[in-house]
Amino acid sequence: MIKVKVPATSANIGPGFDTLGIALQLYNTFFFEEIDEGLEINGCDNDYANENNLVYTSMLETFKKIGYEAKGIKITLNTNIPIARGLGSSAACILGGVIGANEIAKASLSKGEILEIATEIEGHPDNIAPALFGGLVVSVTEDENIYYNKINIANGIKFVVLIPDFTLSTSEAREVLPSTVNYKDAIYNVGRVSLLLSALSNGRFDLLKASLMDRLHQPYRKKLIPKGDEIINKSYELGALGTYISGAGPTIMAIIKDNNMNFTVSIKNYLNFINCNWTVKELDLNLSGVGIEKGIKE
């Protein structure tokens, strides 16, 4: 049996729309086994335990590309990444399926090839790349090629996810975006994303609030998060260095100093006070990406 452990990811990171992503220590774990026939999926709701399961369809797409025909497949899921919250749950399922298929077929796909297949299924690499490689990753596509670079983040910060008790699909979050952007807004974002990368790599965390500002997606998506502005403002009052909408939302990410011991409890109390039944988690960066173990026994 093969075990594939895929980290959650937080994409966009303010002005880095569709290009930036980080991997976090929250995981979906998948167990794969080739069986004599059929399909067996365990560990998820019955609605997903079928041939339309994203992990399984990603496996089939990979088998097709590498020319392998499995007799039957057994998949067992242990999922901790919340669905449709902006933490890369679909990317984790896709990447798990691609890697599981590669391992079953003994195809020896490179990480670059895995990235290409998974991105083709997902549609963009901003969640796939950090989940695969770990840490903070910049990724872009050009002429069907994927270019990516991993960037070191200086020590001294930690990430706190504020996860709402409602979902928001990526398609819903994209529908509210304008079809064109103002030239000044584009320049605004180029400056902020440049400042953000330098601030994170050089430890200039005092620049995070300014560098996380954005005009391309967050102003529109915030309207889909009830009390979103109020919660962000309170986060800053409680000592957050920066905040942003994680992925397409509705999760809000707060970046705090690693010696700030009061923020998490205080923001939990505040959310309870304003009747928001949100989950709050402190998450460290995952720096290694996907983990794979072979020969696992049930």
User: Which residues line the annotated binding site?
Assistant: 82-92
Number of C-beta neighbours around residue 16 at 10 A:
24
**Residue 170 known to be catalytic:** yes
Tell me: do 33 and 123 sit in the same domain: yes
**3-class SS of residue 276:** coil
Tell me: do 146 and 217 sit in the same domain: no
Q: What's the confidence (pLDDT) of residue 293?
A: 92
Task: Tell me how many domains the chain contains.
Answer: 2
Write the CATH number for 12.
3.30.230.10
Rounded distance, CA 159 to CA 12, Å? 15
Q: Residues of the chain with pLDDT > 70: what percent?
A: 99
Tell me: do 33 and 102 sit in the same domain: yes
Residue 131 lies in a domain: yes
Tell me: do 38 and 53 sit in the same domain: yes
**Residue 279 known to be catalytic:** no
Q: Is pLDDT above 70 for 298?
A: no
| pLDDT tens-digit series, residues 126-179 | 999 999 999 999 999 998 899 999 999 999 999 999 999 998 888 888 899 999
Rounded distance, CA 1 to CA 19, Å? 34
* Average pLDDT taken over every residue of the chain: 95
Residue 298 lies in a domain: no
Q: How big is the CA angle at 245 (ends 240 and 248), to the nearest 5 degrees?
A: 165
Q: What's the confidence (pLDDT) of residue 150?
A: 97
User: Which residues line the annotated binding site for ATP?
Assistant: 82-92
Tell me: do 102 and 130 sit in the same domain: yes
Q: Is pLDDT above 80 for 295?
A: no
Set 113, 170, 172, 282: catalytic member: 170
Could you tell me the two tokens for 211? 């560098």
Rg value, the chain, Cα: 19
Set 29, 116, 119, 251: catalytic member: 116
Tell me: do 19 and 68 sit in the same domain: yes
Global pTM? Answer: 0.94
For residue 257, which phi and psi values (nearest 5 degrees)? -65, 145
Tell me: do 8 and 146 sit in the same domain: yes
| pLDDT tens-digit series, residues 36-76 | 999 999 998 888 889 999 999 999 999 999 999 999 999 99
Tell me: do 143 and 16 sit in the same domain: yes
Tell me: do 105 and 184 sit in the same domain: no
Give the range of the structural domain holding residue 103, as residue numbers without chain letter: 2-151+286-293
- Give the pLDDT band (50/70/90) at residue 35: very high
Q: What's the confidence (pLDDT) of residue 169?
A: 84
Residue 226 lies in a domain: yes
Tell me: do 137 and 163 sit in the same domain: no
Burial annotation 220-229 (CB, 10 A radius, 16+ → b, else e): ebbebbeebe
Write the CATH number for 188.
3.30.70.890
- Give the pLDDT band (50/70/90) at residue 264: very high
